[in-house]
Amino acid sequence: MPFKSGFVAIVGRPNAGKSTLVNTLVGQKVAIVSPKPQTTRNRIQGILNRDDAQIVLVDTPGIHRPENVLSRMMMDELQHALEGIDILSLIVDATADFGGGDRFSIQWVERFHGPVYLLLNKVDRIHKQLLLPLIERYNKVFEFAEIFPISALTGAGCLDLVNSWLTRLPEAPPHFPADQFTDQPERFLAAELVREKAILITREEVPHAIAVLVDNFEETEKITRIRATIYVEREGQKGILIGKGGATIKKIGTQARLELETILGAKIFLELMVKVQPHWRQNSAIVRQLDWHRQLEQLADYQE
Ligand code: GDP
Ligand code: MG
């Protein structure tokens, strides 16, 4: 069989299960998953490697109407994610009713010129009888290339989905070395993990207000030293993150470190700080600084 290789973008509304699907398909944690919407701020790629194929998955920020500088940038990022894509897959939460947000998503995928898949996710949580009417509902508004009921969480239907993608992907050599599961720099992964733990542990209404920047990432033979700053908008949020006697920030650090050690296979020393930076989401200079593409460009400029 000829080797197949290509790019599949996973798009959908916040909380539809994009990151969960990428993680399930890749089998390694590459995109952060959280019960709160819009925790994936940047484009993250996971790479699915098989003997007969390589599929590069592009996880994207959730489709939503832009409201501030940050969400406008997220929507720009979504637009960029479509460049060079072979298949677009719109993932929707099948347990939720079809609504305005879904119509907006469909309008948005209409601009793509290749095959568009519809993935009805979370079928582990709905009755089978409800699927058919939902499929009919979607078929009325857009002509999808394929429709797949799946559970990103349990993996149900995912193998069929991958095999179907493969029939539409070009014959091509792999784009990345087979041992790679993501093209994300390790320091970005570290920042994402800290952000995930901070959101999960504080369970406060602050996901958008939290940003994590890695200030220092130093690899030695014995240990990787990482220093990161968590930015928040208000003093109150800082207090919540630090917790009584520093208990919360300590917990965030420990959980992030343990997971990073597993993923990177290295011993890690993680140092965290919390800083208040009012209104950073409305400030494009700060938002730009938080964008890893630009961080890397700056790093490259600096090294030249
Ligand atoms: P994203 O915002 O689209 O990236 O969504 P996430 O992947 O972060 O998932 C949002 C929430 O939905 C998380 O709590 C996931 O555990 C949950 N979730 C995702 N896929 C499934 C699924 O197939 N079944 C169930 N029951 N929950 C799911
Ligand atoms: Mg996500």
The rounded distance, in Å, linking the Cα atoms of 119 and 122 is: 10
For ligand 2, the distance from its centroid to the CA atom of residue 94, given in whole angstroms, is 17
CB of residue 60 inside a 6 A radius of ligand 1: no
- Ligand 1 contacts CB of residue 121 (under 6 A): yes
Using CA atoms, how far apart are residues 154 and 270, in angstroms rounded to an integer? 32
107 has pLDDT over 50: yes
Nearest CA to ligand 1 atom 20: 17
What gap in Å lies between CA 94 and CA 87, rounded to an integer? Answer: 21
Q: What is the pLDDT of residues 5-30, one digit of tens each?
A: 988 988 888 789 988 898 899 876 55
CA-CA distance, 204 to 291, in Å (whole number)?
A: 23
Residue 23 buriedness (CB in 10 A; 0-12 / 13-18 / 19+)? buried
Q: Is the CB of 152 under 6 A from ligand 1?
A: yes
**CATH of segment(s) 186-303:** 3.30.300.20
Its pTM surpasses 0.75: no
Instruction: Say if ligand 1 is within 6 A of residue 151 CB.
Output: yes
Query: Long-range contacts for 216-224 (Cβ within 8 Å, ≥24 apart)?
Result: 217/186, 217/187, 217/190, 219/266, 222/267, 223/266, 223/267, 223/268, 223/269, 224/264, 224/266, 224/267, 224/268, 224/269
40 ligand 1 Cβ < 6 A: yes
Instruction: Give the distance (Å) from ligand 1 centre to CA of residue 290.
Output: 25
* pLDDT for 29: 58
User: At a CB cut-off of 8 Å and minimum separation 6, what does 208 contact?
Assistant: 38, 70, 281
Q: Is the pLDDT of residue 196 over 50?
A: yes
Q: How confident is the model at residue 294 (pLDDT cuts 50, 70, 90)?
A: very low
Looking at per-residue confidence, does 253 or 128 come out higher?
253
Mean residue pLDDT of the chain comes to 81
As a whole number of angstroms, the distance between CA 260 and CA 121 comes to 28
CATH 3.40.50.300 location in the chain: 4-168
Q: What is the mean pLDDT of residues 235-249?
A: 93
Res 156 pLDDT > 90: yes
| Mean pLDDT on 116-138 | 95
User: What pLDDT sits at residue 36?
Assistant: 47
For the CA of 22, the closest atom of ligand 1 is: 7
* Distance of alpha carbon 197 from alpha carbon 298, whole angstroms: 27
List, for residues 209-238, the tens digit of each pLDDT value: 688 888 888 878 889 899 999 988 889 999
Instruction: Please report which confidence band the pLDDT of residue 32 belongs to, taking 50, 70 and 90 as the band edges.
Output: low
Residues 6+ apart with CB under 8 A from 72: 66
Which residues of the chain does CATH 3.30.300.20 include?
Answer: 186-303
- Closest ligand 1 atom number to CA of residue 154: 23
C-alpha span between 110 and 141 (Å, rounded)? 10
CATH class of 4-168: alpha beta
pLDDT at residue 98 in the model? 87
What's the pLDDT at 71?
63
